[in-house]
């Protein structure tokens, strides 16, 4: 039997919270199918309680996304301030709809920084920019340079390389000499992106030694907790579902997560090389897509048995 009691799957000290599935826009690639019509949102009191529990479990960093969390700007700032009191570092992921000019952008960022925000990630790609002017993102970049204590990064989940380069080039012209930090992520066919044609899929042999670095508890607006944010789009029937805070305390869910055999496997093994997956020559839109398709859809009881057999050899 696999013994994990001495291994703490919270050791990377990070957690994620989707404060709402409501969004001011409706992107074609959205994993959670967010839109202006979605109603799901955490109560502020619930979110504060989640922070209390996460801090008690030695979590150090909490990322807040959605949907578009800054549709509820005042509530998010109260959440940031509470996190600051608990000693938690925070990041917010936003589409930047609120930065219509540099002055507004600066005021918003200053307020969030005053309440303890450590980092701001802005979604920037061909899908978001159907709705959000590049000018907004330029305003955020320029405003952020006046606040040295905060880090701003563009979160790009693009489909067409040429289109991404065009957007970055346009943004560079508007921001001048300012350095732009970016992180690139692949679009994979999940959520609303299932309907997108032309998603790039490749053989993952070159990434076969890659281990997952984003296994952390992720809480959605319904109180459902998953092993990571991407896996949350698979729903409660997937092996990545950890439990619901409506049915049992978050403390208990996190204690179970600490000893999760599935989390241990994903964190420590190169999943492309796992023999029990019967790897084939199929192509995937990145390692996350591979993980969701090859592991996420296995029945939990069967997967736990496979993992036990794998480590007993």
What would the DSSP string read from start to end of 183-221?
EEEE--S-GGGGG-S----B--GGGTT---S----EE-T
Burial of 139 (0-12, 13-18, 19+ CB in 10 A): buried
Could you give the C-alpha distances from 60 to 51, 137, 148, 284, in angstroms and in order?
10, 28, 21, 33
Residues in the chain: 313
Maximum alpha-carbon separation in the chain: 62
Q: What is the mean pLDDT of each run of 10 residues along the chain (313 residues)?
A: 37 86 96 96 98 95 96 98 97 97 97 96 93 96 88 80 83 84 81 81 61 85 93 88 96 92 87 76 79 86 91 81
pLDDT at 9 (0 to 100): 42
Counting residues of the chain whose pLDDT is more than 70, the rounded percentage is 90
| The pTM of the whole model exceeds 0.75 | yes
Distance CA 109, CA 144 (A): 7
pLDDT at 207 (0 to 100): 53
pLDDT at 2 (0 to 100): 34
List of residues 6+ apart from 13 with CB closer than 8 A: 58, 59, 60, 61
The count of other CB atoms within 10 Å of the CB of residue 200 is 15
pLDDT at 3 (0 to 100): 34
Q: Are 136 and 97 in contact (CB under 8 A)?
A: yes
**Residue range 230-288, pLDDT digits in tens:** 888 888 988 999 999 999 999 999 999 988 999 988 888 888 778 888 766 678 877 78
pLDDT at 124 (0 to 100): 93
Q: Look at phi and psi of residue 25 and say left if phi exceeds 0, alpha if psi is from -120 to 50, else beta.
A: beta
């Amino acid at each position: 039997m696999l013994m994990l009691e001495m291994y703490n799957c919270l050791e990377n000290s990070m957690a994620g919270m989707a404060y709402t599935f409501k969004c001011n826009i409706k992107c074609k690639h959205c994993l959670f199918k967010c839109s202006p019509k979605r109603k799901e949102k955490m109560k502020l009191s619930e979110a504060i309680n989640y922070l209390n529990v996460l801090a008690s479990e030695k979590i150090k960093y909490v990322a807040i996304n959605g949907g578009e969390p800054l549709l509820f700007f005042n509530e998010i700032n109260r959440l940031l301030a509470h996190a600051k009191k608990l000693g938690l570092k925070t990041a917010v992921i936003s589409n930047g709809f609120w930065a219509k000019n540099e002055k507004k952008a600066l005021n918003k960022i200053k307020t969030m920084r005053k309440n303890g925000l450590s980092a701001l990630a802005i979604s920037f790609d061909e899908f978001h920019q159907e709705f959000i002017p590049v000018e907004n993102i330029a305003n955020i970049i320029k405003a952020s340079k006046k606040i040295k204590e905060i880090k701003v990064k563009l979160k790009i989940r693009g489909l067409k390389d040429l289109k991404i380069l065009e957007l970055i080039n346009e943004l560079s012209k508007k921001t001048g000499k300012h350095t732009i930090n970016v992180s690139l992520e692949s679009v994979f066919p999940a959520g609303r992106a299932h309907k997108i044609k032309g998603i790039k899929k490749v053989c993952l042999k070159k990434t076969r030694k890659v281990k997952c670095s984003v296994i952390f508890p992720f809480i959605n607006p319904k109180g459902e907790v998953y092993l990571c944010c991407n896996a949350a789009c698979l729903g409660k029937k997937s092996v990545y579902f950890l439990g619901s805070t409506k049915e049992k305390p978050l403390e208990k869910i996190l204690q179970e997560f600490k000893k999760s055999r599935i989390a241990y496997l994903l964190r420590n093994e190169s999943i492309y090389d796992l023999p029990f997956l019967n790897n084939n020559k199929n192509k995937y839109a990145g390692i996350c897509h591979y993980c969701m398709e090859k592991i996420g859809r296995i029945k939990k009881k069967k997967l736990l048995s496979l993992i036990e057999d794998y480590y007993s050899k």
